[in-house]
Amino acid sequence: MFNKKSQAAMEFLMTYGWAIMIVLIGIGALFFLGVFNPSTPSTCNIASPFICQDVRIIDTGGAANFIIFRFASTNIDSATINTITLNGIACGSIYVGYNADLSGMLASSDISQSKNKPTYVRCQLQPTVAPYGSKVSGNFNINWVKQFGVSHITIGAYSGTVESN
């Protein structure tokens, strides 16, 4: 009689043991597939009259990060970016260019051509905001001047994963 109770207890423990093992294997598979570590898409949003088409956050491996925005605009004849601040850190230098490979960028803040073609704005941040692989999100402010010297502030938001150079 004592033997039968031991056998029932052993079968009970084995059944629950297999069930727990299957659950642990399932959770391990989900971790392996990256379900618990979702990727952060590189996105940016900005109020009108600008259109933020893309953003890249780049770790140079040194003491600085670069953030590159791809802007277009509507209803702007002439505009200049005065300052860009990201998470309270102001850009050390602003470069503007019109080529997708970022060649020919000039230390300028004139974005007048953004009405006709996409404009790339590169902002250098010192000290480094985040290391390679980390997820970053925040806000940015652009102070800009329209055609007749009227100053405006446009607020936007960005998020993404820091890429390597």
- What are the sequence ranges of the domains in the chain? 1-38, 43-164
**What confidence tens digit (pLDDT) does each residue in 113-162 have?**
777 788 888 888 777 777 888 888 888 887 777 777 788 888 888 888 88
The C-alpha atoms of residue 56 and residue 42 are separated, in whole angstroms, by: 7
Task: State the fold for domain 43-164.
Answer: Immunoglobulin-like (2.60.40)
Which residue is it, tokens 């925040």? 138
> Residue 36: CB partners within 8 Å, gap ≥ 6?
30
Q: 102 is written with which tokens?
A: 């970022």
How far apart are alpha carbons 58 and 67 in whole angstroms?
Answer: 6
d(CA 161, CA 53): 16
Q: Alpha carbon of 59 to those of 50, 78, 82, 91, 124: distances in Å? A: 26, 32, 24, 15, 10
Q: 61-71: per-residue pLDDT in tens?
A: 777 788 888 98
